[in-house]
Amino acid sequence: VEAAKLGAVGVIIRSVTHALDNNPHTGATRYDSTVTKIPAMAMSTMDAEWLSALLKKEKGVQLFMKQDCKQYPDVPSYNVIGELRGTEFPNEIITAGGHLDSWDLAEGAHDDGTGCMQSIEVIRSLKAMGIKPRRTIRAVMFMNEENGLRGGNAYAEAAKKATNEKHIFAVESDAGGFGAVTLGISGKPEQLEKAKSWAGLVRPYGVYQITDGGGGADIGPLRPLGTVMCGVNPGSQRYFDHHHAPNDTFETVHKRELEQGALSMAAICWLVSEYGL
């Protein structure tokens, strides 16, 4: 937007990652109505280093931009939902979620295939242990997180209209399938205090702390309903080496780290189901 205001014909940014590699990272551009849209591209860090060196060495460098990306019309799509019904308070809903959509240049393994798998694993693991939760626990694979949050908004809209549902808690995994180190929670002070008292119970999954503040894009629209928000937070150093890039692939997911994150979600969902918040 700033470049367009200054009369630029296009913009190329260096991909925002610590990694020095050949993977450009994609993303979205946003304009306000006063600005004429210009083409935007990202280049890999290695190409950016090369271009930077060239610009320092030579005068009058010319750069040719060609893009073939398109915005297609919207088509119908859906959230995918499964649940374990609560035995005592079936109308009190606990949501565990990730998002189904991903950018087109990669598999979207960490963003957010892992969040979807972990949400399913919450239900599967509780079932495998023969646990019947007191409150309803739902795994939700949200659609359209990357391109407008329509799935998250539609889920919250439906929750608002459902007079027989009380959405007490939602946890989201959308920060990569790396080993979870904290669970971040947003809610009233007394809710936070209660959640923090469970910190020792999630330590076996590598989660060393339950911290103030957390949530996620897809569960965010539930917040005005008073739903307590929780985000699964892996160490953030590696995620942006893969985020929206061609190397966001299945092979880069570590099975044990993925499982630990999933079970930290299962544990917090079960604790909320058992003891309320």
**Closer CB to Zn ion, 113 or 179, in the complex:** 113
For residues 173 and 257, the answer to whether their CB atoms sit within 8 Å is no
Q: CA separation (Å) from 84 to 81, 92, 176?
A: 11, 12, 25
Q: How many CB atoms lie within 10 A of CB 258?
A: 24
Question: 233 forms bridges with which residues in the sheet?
Answer: 182
- DSSP label at 109? I
Q: Is 248 an interacting residue with respect to Zn ion (CB under 5 A)? A: no
For residues 116 and 151, the answer to whether their CB atoms sit within 8 Å is no
Q: Give the shortest CB-274-to-Zn ion separation in angstroms.
A: 29
The Cα 170–Cα 227 span in angstroms is 7
Among 92, 101, 111, 248, indicate the residue that binds Zn ion (CB under 5 A): 111
Q: Give the shortest CB-217-to-Zn ion separation in angstroms.
A: 7
Q: Is 112 an interacting residue with respect to Zn ion (CB under 5 A)? A: yes
Q: Is 101 an interacting residue with respect to Zn ion (CB under 5 A)? A: no
Total residues at the site for Zn ion (CB under 5 A)? Answer: 3
Q: Give the shortest CB-175-to-Zn ion separation in angstroms.
A: 8
Window contacting Zn ion (CB under 5 A); options: 23-31, 104-112, 160-168, 228-236: 104-112
Q: How many CB atoms lie within 10 A of CB 8?
A: 12
Site for Zn ion in 203-242 (CB under 5 A): none
Site for Zn ion in 168-187 (CB under 5 A): 174
Positions touching Zn ion (CB under 5 A) are 111-112, 174
